[in-house]
């Protein structure tokens, strides 16, 4: 898949290549992918994703071969800075969804939402269309399907002919779905976006701006949803590994 990390301008964090892009540069790349044709994979890589990739060679290869892996989260920015990178801002799945919807309203890009609990992707699409009138959501499907339904869902996505497919199944399942259905879905860009539809539907509230600004969004999520502990406990693990990394 894709041109791979070799042709990208990446900083390597714990063996995982992350593109040194700002939000605007990431959006430019996504718009170029739409023009190019073919299917491109975009990974929004947070500290948790990097820990998963470190422990799982298949997932690490998938990120290395992606077309774009964006720096998502304060932990990744901090680790990148330690390596002398000039990455300045996080490029998260939630922000990409919102900006691509805004672009869709101007340029007509066709967008498909796959993932989250039944009704949530649809509601997220409605809310975003209210905010960005003309935003072109061409299909939605929830993310609680059986493995044997994967082909049927991929075919439904292909029939909707999306330019951009957002997949919110959690990491690494969303990226694996994109990889395995890539020959079928025909979306020009497919992006794994974690819990984004929950945010836009109003199911989960984003942290107050002040908490985001001081990089404590993870704490907010944990307070609202203690089942996220497994994910949050990867954060100190990430920090310890980065501090011990001499590569
Ligand atoms: N989800 C899904 N199908 C599943 C499991 C999870 O669609 O079988 C959805 C879940 O409803 C949520 C998203 O995947 O909307 C995962 O969000 P999370 O913030 O946990 O993702 P991460 O940031 O860990 O990738």
Q: Which residues touch 220 (CB under 8 Å, ≥6 apart)?
A: 206, 207, 208, 211
Count how many residues are written for the chain.
Answer: 247
Q: How far, in Å, are 4, 28, 37, 188, 204 from residue 41 at the CA level? A: 10, 15, 12, 9, 26
Residue 76 CB coordination number (10 Å): 29
Question: What is the C-alpha separation between 79 and 85, in angstroms, rounded?
Answer: 9
Domain count, the chain: 1
User: Whole-prediction pTM value?
Assistant: 0.93
Query: Would you state the pLDDT for residue 232?
Result: 80
Looking from the CA of residue 48, the nearest atom of ligand 1 is 24
Query: Would you state the pLDDT for residue 6?
Result: 61
Ligand 1 neighbourhood includes 5 CB (under 6 angstroms): no
Ligand 1 neighbourhood includes 73 CB (under 6 angstroms): no
Give 222's pLDDT tier (boundaries 50, 70, 90): confident
Please give the average per-residue pLDDT across 165-171, as a whole number.
Answer: 97
- The first and second tokens of residue 45, run together, are 């890589």
Classify residue 109 as left (phi > 0), alpha (psi -120 to 50) or beta. Answer: beta
- CA-closest residue to ligand 1 atom 17: 195
Query: Would you state the pLDDT for residue 219?
Result: 84
Please give the average per-residue pLDDT across 56-72, as a whole number.
Answer: 96
Please give the average per-residue pLDDT across 57-82, as a whole number.
Answer: 96
Tens of pLDDT, residue by residue over 110-137, are 999 999 999 999 999 999 999 999 999 9
Residue 85 lies in domain: 5-244
Q: What is the DSSP letter of 38?
A: S
Beta strands 16-19 and 10-13 are antiparallel
CA–centroid distance, residue 195 to ligand 1 (Å):
5
> Best mutation site among 59, 69, 115, 201 for ligand 1, i.e. most ligand atoms within 8 A of its Cβ?
115
């Amino acid at each position: 898949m894709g041109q791979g990390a070799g042709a990208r301008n990446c900083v390597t964090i714990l063996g995982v290549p992350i593109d040194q892009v700002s939000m605007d540069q990431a959006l430019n790349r996504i718009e170029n992918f739409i023009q190019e044709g073919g299917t491109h994979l975009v990974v929004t890589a947070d500290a948790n994703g990097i820990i998963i990739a470190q422990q799982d060679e298949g997932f690490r290869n998938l990120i290395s071969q992606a077309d774009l892996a964006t720096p998502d989260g304060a932990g990744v920015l901090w680790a990148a800075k330690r390596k002398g990178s000039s990455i300045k801002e996080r490029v998260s799945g939630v922000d990409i969804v919102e900006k691509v919807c805004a672009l869709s309203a101007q340029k007509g890009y066709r967008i498909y939402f796959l993932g989250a609990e039944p009704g949530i992707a649809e509601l997220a699409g409605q809310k975003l269309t209210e905010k960005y009138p003309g935003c072109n959501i061409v299909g939605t499907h929830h993310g609680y399907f059986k493995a044997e339904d994967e082909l049927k869902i991929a075919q439904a996505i292909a029939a909707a002919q999306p330019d951009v497919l957002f997949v919110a199944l959690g990491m690494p399942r969303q990226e694996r779905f994109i990889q395995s259905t890539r020959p079928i879905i025909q979306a020009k860009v497919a992006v794994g976006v974690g819990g984004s539809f929950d945010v836009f539907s109003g199911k989960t509230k984003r942290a107050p701006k002040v908490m985001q600004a001081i990089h404590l969004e993870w704490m907010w999520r944990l307070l609202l949803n203690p089942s996220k502990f497994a994910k949050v406990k990867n954060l100190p693990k990430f920090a310890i590994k980065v501090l011990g990394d001499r590569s």
